[in-house]
C-alpha cells in the first residue's frame, strides 16, 4: 500500500511531493504512533476542496442560529453563496405567547462597493444595522467580516459596541476574514471564542425542575439530524437546553452553561467551547457519535453511565430496544444488498470518522478516508494536542484562556468519580479517526483533485462519499457517489431512523438501473454480423 501511495504521488513536482507525502498515511497498528500532517496551509494550485475562515464561522457555526439577523460585511458573493446552501434546518419556536423568529430564508449583506473599499465601509455597516432594526427588530445581530474588511481596517467591533448601546440588543462581531488560518477551521475557533466570551452565561433561565440537562454541541441539524437525535433523547428523558447551533436560538445558547453534560458531536468545530465550558462552569463533555446504529446506541449508554440513574438506564435500554426493533427488518434488507462493498470517505472535519460505523453496519468497508481541515487531534486523538506545534499561518487565531466563573461554577461530579468514569466512557476525550480505521486503509489530509482521481483509479471503490465538487467527478468515472455534506438533499442520516434513510439512499445509488446504460449497445455488439462471420471463414 505504501508503494501505491508513492507511485500515486510520482507526478508531483519535488517540493509538492515532499509537502503532500506528510499528509498521507496507511493505517498500520504495528506502528505505535502514526503522525499525520494536518491543518497546514494549502498548496497553491493543487485544486483543494477547502473553503475559508468566513465559511467556517458564518457558514457553519453562526449562520444556523435562526432568530438573529446575520449581516455579512463585504461584497455580495460571500453572503450569496452561504444563502440556503448548507442545509441547517430550523423552525421558529414560540416563546410564551410571542411568535418565534426565523431568518434562515434570508440573506443579508452590506454589498460593499468600490467606494466602501476606498473610504471604508463602517458607515454603511452602521446604516445596514439601523435598517435591519427598523425592518425586523431582531433580538440579536451578527456581523461577519470578509476578506477586504480586515485589509481596509473597518473596525466592526467598534460598530458592534456602538450598535449594542444604541439599540439595546446583542450585536456580535466576528473577525472571520477569509484569509485567516488555512481553512474553515479558523472560523470555527473564532466563532467559539465569541460565544464563550459574550453569549453563553448571559441567560438566567432556571432548569432546577428538570433532570438530565444537556447541551448538544457541534450538531448543525443538516437535513434534520438534530431533530432526530433530540426525538430519541427526549423519549429517554433528557432535557436539551441548547443545540449549538443547528436550529439554534440565541436565548437557548445564552443558557448553555446550565447543562450538566455537553455532548460533542463534531469535535473539530466545537471542542474549544466544550473545553472552555468545563474550565469556566465545570461542565464535563462526552464525545458522542449519533451516526450509525451501534455508535448511537453506545452514545446513549455512555450518557446513562454518566448520569448513573437507575430509571434513566432502564429507560435507555428500553428505548434502544424499541428503536432497534422498529428498523430491524430494514437493517437486514439493506445489509444483504450493500455488504462486501468498499467506500472512500472524504468530508470536512468530522463525518469521515463518524460514518465509518454506519457504513460497517451495512457491511461496507472504508478503504480511504480523509478530512479537509481537521487537526492532528481529530486524526490521532486528543493526546497529541500537547505536541502540536502552532505554525505561522494559524498563530493569529486567538487562543482564549478562561477563568473559573465563581458564581456559576458547579461541581457536577466529584473529581474522583470523574476519573473513574473516564476509564469507561469518552469523557473530555476523543480518540480520533485513525484508531477506528480499518487496517491498511489510506488516510489523507486535504485530499485534492489529483489524488481523488488517482486513488479512484487505483483502488476502484464501489462508492465515494464526499462533497458537491467531487461527486460528479466520481460519477463520471462510473463510481456511485453521494454527498455527505448536504446528504444529496435527503436526510436525516443521524440516529436510528437516519441510518435507514442513509442505507435507502445508498441502495438507490448502487441499484439504479441507469448504470446499465453507460455503454451504448453498439460499442459491445457487432453491428454487421454477416461480415464478421465471412472474415472468420476466410482466415
Partner 1 sequence: MLDKTPKELYERKALRINPAKTCQPIGAMYAALGIHKCLPHSHGSQGCCSYHRMQLTRHFKDPIMASTSSFTEGACVFGGGSNMKTAVKNIFEIYEPDIIAVHTTCLSETIGDDLKTIIAQSQSIVPEGKHVIHASTPSYVGSHVTGYSNMVKAIVTYLAENTETPNEKINIIPGFVSPGDIREIKKLLQLLGVPFIMMPDTSGVVDAGMTGHYDMYPAGGTKLEDVKDTGNSKHTLALGSFSSEAGAAELDKKCKVPMDTLTMPIGIEAVDRFLMTVCKLTDKEVPYEIEEERTQLVDLMLDSHQYLYGKKVAISGDPDTVISMTEFVVSLGMIPKYIVTGTPGASFEKQIKAILVKAGIEEECKYKASGDLFELHQWIKNEPVDLLVGTTHSKFISRAEDIPLIRFGFPIIDRYAHAYMPTTGYKGAIRIIEMFTNAILDRQDRDCAEEDFEMVM
Considering beta carbons, is residue 11 or 422 the nearer one to partner 1? 11
For partner 1, the closer CB: 147 or 266 = 147
**Pairing of β 239-245 and β 213-219:** parallel
Measured distance CA(117)–CA(75) in Å, rounded: 10
CB of 246 to partner 1, least distance (A): 20
Taking the least distance from each CB to partner 1, the nearer of 14 and 529 is 14
Adjacent-strand bridge partners of 263? 216, 286
> How far apart are alpha carbons 258 and 496 in whole angstroms?
28
In DSSP notation, 400-467 reads ------TTT----S-HHHHHHHHHHS-BT----HHHHSPTT-EEEES--HHHHHHHHHHH--SEEEE-
CB of 55 to partner 1, least distance (A): 5
Active-site entry in 8, 38, 52, 259: 52
Cell of 332: 437486514
- Cell for 278? 468545563
Instruction: Say if CB 273 and CB 217 are below 8 A apart.
Output: yes
Give the whole-angstrom CA distance, residue 390 versus residue 378. Answer: 16
Which residue among the candidates 41, 50, 86, 341 is catalytic per the annotation? 86
**CB–CB of 89/221 below 8 Å?**
yes
* Nearest distance in Å: CB 123, partner 1: 8
Nearer to partner 1, 473 or 510 (CB): 473
Q: How far is the CB of 389 from partner 1 (least distance, A)?
A: 17
From residue 81, give the alpha-carbon distance in Å to each of 112, 129, 209, 488, 518. 16, 21, 43, 17, 33
Q: Considering the candidates 188, 375, 382, 497, report the single residue annotated as catalytic.
A: 188
Q: To the nearest whole angstrom, how small is the minimum distance from the Cβ of residue 136 to partner 1?
A: 6
- Residue 55 catalytic? yes
Least gap, CB of 266 to partner 1 (angstroms): 19
In the three-class reduction of DSSP (H, G, I as helix; E, B as strand; rest coil), residue 509 is classed as helix
Cell reading at 535: 472474415
Residues 6+ apart with CB under 8 A from 386: none
State in angstroms the smallest separation of the CB of 164 from partner 1: 18
Q: Which is nearer to partner 1, 74 or 246 (CB)?
A: 74
If the CB atoms of residues 79 and 356 are measured against partner 1, the closer one turns out to be 79
Nearer to partner 1, 21 or 449 (CB): 449
155 vs 453, beta carbon nearer partner 1:
453
For residue 382, the minimal CB distance to partner 1 (Å) is 26
List all residues 6 or more positions away from 471 whose beta carbon is below 8 Å from its beta carbon: 464, 481, 482, 483
Q: Which residue in the list 8, 38, 53, 55 is annotated as catalytic?
A: 55
Burial class (CB in 10 A: 0-12, 13-18, 19+), 190: buried
Q: Supply 163's cell numbers.
A: 450598535
d(CA 187, CA 263): 21
52 as an active site residue: the answer is yes
For residue 216, what are the contacts with CB-CB under 8 A and spacing of at least 6? Answer: 226, 229, 230, 240, 242, 243, 244, 263, 265
* Residues known to be catalytic: 52, 55, 86, 188
Amino acid at each position: 500500500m505504501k508503494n501505491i501511495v508513492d507511485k500515486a504521488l510520482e507526478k508531483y513536482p519535488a517540493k509538492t511531493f515532499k509537502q503532500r507525502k506528510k499528509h498521507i498515511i496507511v493505517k498500520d497498528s504495528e506502528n505505535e504512533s502514526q503522525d499525520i500532517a494536518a491543518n497546514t496551509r494549502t498548496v497553491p494550485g493543487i485544486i483543494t476542496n477547502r473553503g475559508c475562515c468566513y465559511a467556517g464561522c458564518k457558514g457553519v457555526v453562526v449562520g444556523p442560529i435562526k432568530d438573529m439577523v446575520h449581516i455579512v460585511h463585504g461584497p455580495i458573493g460571500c453572503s450569496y453563496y452561504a444563502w440556503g446552501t448548507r442545509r441547517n434546518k430550523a423552525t421558529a419556536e414560540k416563546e410564551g405567547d410571542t411568535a418565534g423568529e426565523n431568518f434562515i430564508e434570508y440573506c443579508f449583506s452590506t454589498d460593499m462597493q468600490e467606494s466602501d473599499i476606498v473610504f471604508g465601509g463602517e458607515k454603511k455597516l452602521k446604516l445596514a444595522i439601523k435598517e435591519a432594526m427598523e425592518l425586523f427588530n431582531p433580538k440579536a445581530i451578527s456581523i461577519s467580516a470578509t476578506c477586504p474588511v480586515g485589509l481596509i481596517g473597518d473596525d466592526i467591533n467598534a460598530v458592534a459596541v456602538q450598535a449594542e448601546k444604541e439599540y439595546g440588543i446583542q450585536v456580535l462581531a466576528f473577525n472571520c476574514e477569509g484569509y485567516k488560518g488555512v481553512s474553515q477551521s479558523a472560523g470555527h475557533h473564532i466563532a467559539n471564542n465569541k460565544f464563550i466570551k459574550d453569549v453563553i452565561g448571559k441567560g438566567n433561565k432556571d432548569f432546577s425542575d428538570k433532570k438530565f440537562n444537556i447541551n448538544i454541541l457541534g450538531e448543525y441539524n443538516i437535513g434534520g439530524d438534530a431533530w432526530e437525535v433530540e426525538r430519541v433523547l427526549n423519549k429517554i428523558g433528557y432535557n436539551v437546553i441548547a443545540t449549538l447551533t443547528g436550529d439554534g436560538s440565541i436565548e437557548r445558547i445564552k443558557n448553555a452553561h446550565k447543562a450538566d453534560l455537553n455532548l460533542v458531536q463534531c469535535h473539530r468545530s466545537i471542542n474549544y467551547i466544550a473545553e472552555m465550558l468545563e474550565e469556566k462552569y465545570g461542565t464535563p463533555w462526552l464525545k458522542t457519535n449519533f451516526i450509525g446504529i451501534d455508535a448511537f446506541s453506545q452514545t446513549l449508554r455512555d450518557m446513562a453511565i454518566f448520569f448513573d440513574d437507575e430509571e434513566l438506564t432502564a429507560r435507555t435500554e428500553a428505548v434502544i430496544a424499541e428503536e432497534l426493533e422498529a428498523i430491524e427488518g430494514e437493517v437486514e434488507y439493506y445489509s444483504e444488498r450493500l455488504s462486501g462493498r468498499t467506500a472512500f470517505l472524504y468530508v470536512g472535519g468530522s463525518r469521515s470518522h463518524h460514518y465509518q460505523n454506519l457504513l460497517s453496519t451495512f457491511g461496507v468497508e472504508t478503504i480511504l478516508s480523509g478530512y479537509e481541515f481537521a487537526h492532528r487531534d481529530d486524526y490521532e486523538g486528543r493526546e497529541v494536542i500537547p505536541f502540536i506545534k502552532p505554525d505561522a499561518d494559524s498563530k493569529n487565531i486567538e487562543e482564549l484562556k478562561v477563568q473559573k466563573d465563581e458564581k456559576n461554577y458547579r461541581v457536577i461530579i466529584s473529581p474522583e468519580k470523574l476519573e473513574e468514569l473516564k476509564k469507561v466512557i469518552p469523557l473530555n476525550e476523543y480518540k480520533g479517526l485513525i484508531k477506528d480505521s480499518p487496517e491498511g486503509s489510506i488516510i489523507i489530509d486535504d485530499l485534492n483533485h489529483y489524488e481523488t482521481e488517482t486513488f479512484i483509479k487505483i483502488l476502484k471503490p464501489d462508492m465515494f462519499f464526499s462533497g458537491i465538487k467531487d461527486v460528479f467527478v466520481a460519477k463520471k468515472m462510473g463510481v456511485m457517489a453521494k454527498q455527505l455534506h448536504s446528504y444529496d438533499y435527503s436526510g436525516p442520516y443521524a440516529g436510528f431512523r437516519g441510518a435507514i434513510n442513509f442505507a435507502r439512499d445508498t441502495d438507490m445509488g448502487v441499484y439504479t438501473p441507469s448504470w446499465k446504460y453507460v455503454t451504448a449497445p453498439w460499442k459491445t455488439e457487432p453491428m454487421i454480423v454477416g461480415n464478421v462471420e465471412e472474415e472468420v471463414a476466410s482466415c
